[in-house]
Amino acid sequence: MKNLISVFVIVIVAVAFVNCQNKKIGDSFSSNALQSVYFDYDKAHIRDDAAVSMQSNAAYLKNNQSVSVTVEGNCDNRGTNEYNLALGQRRAEAARDYLTNLGVASSRMNTVSYGEEKPVCGEGNESCWQRNRRADFRR
């Protein structure tokens, strides 16, 4: 019975983890939450596969003029802290500039870099590092 309870708890934790990893950033925004965008290793340009997310983010912000956001630049844990803070800042600014080019007022967006300090995954593999190379959008 004790083993069955342990297995049940592990399953619940695993389901919660998967749901947490797949959630959209900014759940407080409602079902139209702003979506994170992801970057290639050591790059700060918005990838082609992020265009739909960025267009959706821009549409949400244009339809909700009272919403201001902080664009948070993040990195994986490779590189020095100083380098990753600078790279995270470039990523945050690239995301802000992309939204500005889509018609969102830059005055509604602040940028901050967390470098490698806010990982969403702690494993040491490319799949995990990819999820940490991102820009998040917070109210």
CA distances 80 to 25, 86, 92, 113, 137, Å, are 26, 10, 18, 14, 24
DSSP 79: S
| Pair type for strands 109-115 and 134-138 | unpaired
Q: Which two tokens stand for residue 102?
A: 């889509």
pTM comes to 0.77
d(CA 79, CA 85): 10
* Domain chopping of the chain, boundaries: 37-138
| Pair type for strands 109-115 and 37-38 | unpaired
What is the fold of 37-138? 60s Ribosomal Protein L30; Chain: A; (3.30.1330)
Q: What is the pLDDT of residues 81-126, one digit of tens each?
A: 999 999 999 999 999 999 999 999 999 999 999 999 999 999 999 9
